[in-house]
Amino acid sequence: MYRLLLATLTIVACAGMCRAADRPNMIFILADDLGYGDLGCFGQTVIQTPRLDQMAAEGMRFTQFYAGNTVCAPSRSVLMTGQHMGHTHVRGNAGGENMLVQSLRDEDVTVAEVLKSAGYTNALIGKWGLGEFDQPGSPLRQGFDRFFGYLNQVHAHNYYPEFLWSNKTKMPLRNEVKRADRSYGGFTGGAATKRVDYTHDLFVEEARQFIGNHRSEPFFLYLALTIPHANNEGTRMTGDGADVPDYGIYADHDWPSQDKGQAAMITRMDGDVGRILDHLRELEIDENTLVVFSSDNGAHDEAGHNLDRFDPSGPLRGTKRALYEGGIRVPTIAWWPGSIAPGTTSDHIGYFGDWMATAAELAGADTPKNIDSISFAPTLKGMPEKQKEHEYLYWEFYEQGSRQAVRFGKWKAIRQPMTTGEIELFDLSIDLGESNNIAGKHADVVMRAGKMMDEAHAPHTNWQPRGQTRK
């Protein structure tokens, strides 16, 4: 009888451990405005990123992975909802208008809510941008158990703000700030006159603490860093928007302060990503933790630094706010010791919206209806023959007169302005830099691209090209 009871308990314990092993912890680290060519493992030769290069060497580098959009809020909406830009609710940065349009709704289902239903404890640390604490888009109403950081994206411009949010409480910091002369995006930003608490450092420490506190249960950490986004108000007020405590290894370079700051921010972030991976190893949970690193859109040109020095888009055309590849193709690395073969490079064509289906599959959870998401778990696990592919990827952008884009196979098409403009067509297999518009030679492909754009775009009363009246 005793042996039977012992055998039963052993089977139950084994089953529990097997279920835990089948449901990995998940960490999604999101850089802010990091270009495709800003990392050494993606071709950068000036800025040093040894830990992210090591992460790629120990994991998988995605060469054809795309952000949800070419600017902040809509890209994060795609990441959270698994819906592309023609369907997701938040399709742009609200600017100085009604900020409620930049809030997720109660009916929107986020990846955090899906994972919570599967027993995960979820934390958002860093920048949110999809709803204030009294709006339905508050992260605490969207599946996150813990929030520490910025709700408002303009608040997030300043690395030395006067406060951060800790759940629903304003946590005062020791910094002092001179406010800008105008508000934007529901917040009046500024530049620090007294710099003590650097928020990036606080985020990394909070992330390490969350990981340690929840190492014995499945968790999802969305670490939305603000590096290397510029303090836009700081740039306008002082000429230098590259906020960083010190210039590190670049201090003695014969560069302007803006260039030193831009490089130092990226190298600082690089070292801190390494610290997080080291922490997972120290806790002996690295083999049960998937870490994905990416960027919310292409490189910015807003800190007063010299883009020519760093070539942040590498071989790609364009930067942030473009729908050319440099605005939306982002450096992406996946790390999962024991599950992802080291030193792997994948040319799988995926995008932010695919995180929903991927996380749900790995957690054993059901995916919501009406999403535009395909799991890339087969690619992570070294089974490309089982990897499903999108018919096309789709983006739209409402600023600068508006534009749309689709990527299908080797083809990339852009229409400016959206719905009515001429379509440009590029063959990315031979023209990665999108320098040769061949629309005139492929009328059939152009027609196909136009039909995809029309099909993908569901009109939304909140989002119309800038300059048009909202209905």
CA–CA dist 52, 270 (Å, integer): 6
Residue 51 located in a structural domain: yes
Q: Are residues 299 and 445 in the same domain?
A: no
- Rounded Cα–Cα distance for residues 329 and 315 (Å): 11
Whether 317 maps to a domain, the answer reads: yes
Assess whether 279 and 404 both reside in one domain: no
3-state DSSP helix/strand/coil percent for the chain, to nearest 5?
A: 35, 20, 50
Mean local confidence (pLDDT), 443-465 = 96
pLDDT reported for residue 22: 74
Q: What integer pLDDT is reported at residue 8 of this predicted model?
A: 38
Domain that holds residue 405: 394-456
Are both 336 and 398 inside the same structural domain? Answer: no
pLDDT tens readout for residues 44-90 = 999 999 999 999 999 999 999 999 999 999 999 999 999 999 999 99
The C-alpha atoms of residue 67 and residue 428 are separated, in whole angstroms, by 17
Q: How far apart are CA 221 and CA 202, in angstroms?
A: 15
Q: How far is CA 234 from CA 101, 157, 245, 423, in A?
A: 26, 8, 15, 38
Same domain for 202 and 83: yes
Question: Which two structure tokens, joined as six digits, stand for 131?
Answer: 């709803």
Same domain, 46 and 144: yes
CATH number for 424: 3.30.1120.10
Task: Give the end of a domain, one of 335, 364, 390.
Answer: 390
Is 89 a domain residue?
yes
- Structural domain count of the chain: 2
Of all residues in the chain, the percent with pLDDT exceeding 90 is 92
Is the preceding peptide bond at 417 cis, omega within 30 degrees of 0? yes
Same domain, 161 and 240: yes
CATH number at residue 292: 3.40.720.10
Among candidate residues 341, 370, 390, the one where a domain is terminated? 390
Residue 468, domain member (yes or no): no
Residue 398 lies in a domain: yes
Q: What pLDDT sits at residue 235?
A: 97
Residue 20 has pLDDT above 70, yes or no: no
Q: Which of 1-5, 70-74, 462-466 has the highest mean pLDDT?
A: 70-74
User: Mean of the pLDDT values across residues 386-413?
Assistant: 98
Do residue 306 and residue 418 come from a single domain? no
Which amino acid is residue 41, in one-letter code? C
390 — pLDDT class (breaks 50, 70, 90): very high
Statement: residue 18 has pLDDT above 60 = no
> What does the buried/exposed string (b/e) look like for 145-182 if buried means 16 or more CB atoms within 10 Å of the residue's CB?
bbbbbbbbbbbbbbbbbbebbeeeeeeebebebeebee
User: Residue 14: its pLDDT value, please?
Assistant: 38
Q: What is the pLDDT of residues 253-274, one digit of tens each?
A: 999 999 999 999 999 999 999 9
Query: Are 230 and 194 found together in one domain?
Result: yes
| CA-based nearest residue to 74, from 388, 351, 369 | 351
Categorize the per-residue pLDDT at 229 as very low, low, confident or very high, splitting at 50, 70 and 90. Answer: very high
Is the same domain home to 172 and 235? Answer: yes
Q: Which helix (H) or strand (E) holds 53?
A: helix 50-58
Residue 419 has pLDDT above 60, yes or no: yes
pLDDT for residue 1 is more than 70: no
Domain annotation covers residue 15: no
pLDDT value of position 259: 98
14 located within any domain: no
> For 460, phi and psi rounded to 5 degrees?
-135, 125
Residue 433 shares a structural domain with residue 323: no
Averaged pLDDT score across all residues of the chain: 94
What pTM was estimated for this model as a whole? 0.95
In a domain, 140, yes or no: yes
Give pLDDT tens digits for 281-310. 999 999 999 999 999 999 999 999 999 999
Q: Give the whole-angstrom CA distance, residue 230 versus residue 380.
A: 33
Give the model's pLDDT for residue 96. 74
Residue 367 DSSP one-character state: P
Question: Measured between alpha carbons, how far is residue 453 from residues 435, 443, 456, 468 in Å?
Answer: 22, 15, 5, 20
Amino acid identity of 359?
A
Q: What is the pLDDT of residues 211-224, one digit of tens each?
A: 999 999 999 999 99
pLDDT confidence band for 95 (50 / 70 / 90): confident
Q: By mean pLDDT, which of 18-22, 313-317, 432-436 is the weakest?
A: 18-22
Instruction: Answer yes or no: do 296 and 330 share one domain.
Output: yes
User: For residue 195, is pLDDT > 70?
Assistant: yes
What number of residues does the chain have?
471
Whether pLDDT at 98 is above 50: yes
Are the CB atoms for 325 and 59 separated by under 8 Å? no
Boundary of a domain, candidates 355, 390, 425: 390
* Backbone torsion region of residue 409, taken as left when φ is above 0, otherwise alpha when ψ lies between -120 and 50, otherwise beta: left
Span 336-378, pLDDT tens digits = 999 999 999 999 999 999 999 999 999 999 999 999 999 999 9
Q: Are residues 348 and 427 in the same domain?
A: no
β-strand partners of 124: 147, 222
Kindly report, residue by residue over 269-285, the tens digit of the pLDDT. 999 999 999 999 999 99
